[in-house]
Structure 1
């Protein structure tokens, strides 16, 4: 069973659901939080699948974990949890950057 692929697919589904909720059910700053979280999570779910295709499992995991932390903190704030969760968002963003750098390193000859 390919857990990375399963998690990437579920991450993509959650991103679409968050974006739809942001477009049709949210108000105020929650709209932008859901839009941003959904966009980043969806991009990195696809990036994880591409990395997995090239047998770069480490970067794929970083994309998924970073996307979950980045988007998850935004989603939680959009659902009314405290705004201090915004301090967690850059941790996920840093993981996404590390995933891209790791993928670049993996591609060297």
Structure 2
């Protein structure tokens, strides 16, 4: 993961609330999803109190179930960590789309 606070030059909330960055200023635990360079959907989790503008970018994850589905979507039969290494790959696997700007995040078991 990568953490971004409002005083970080890479934080989307550094210039304040805009229509595109409003989700970053929402309550902790909400998702902030955006399209990077017109190619990759990025998943961030708002990580502070409402109004602060801090988030954590999910850069990779390890599958705990659904390996066959991941392999099919990625077009790879490897079990190596490279399957979900990179924020674009994470979003691709879980079918995130950049128009899903505000959503509660839920943790569930498979």
Please give the TM-score of this superposition, normalised by the length of structure 1. 0.24
Please give the TM-score of this superposition, normalised by the length of structure 2. 0.24
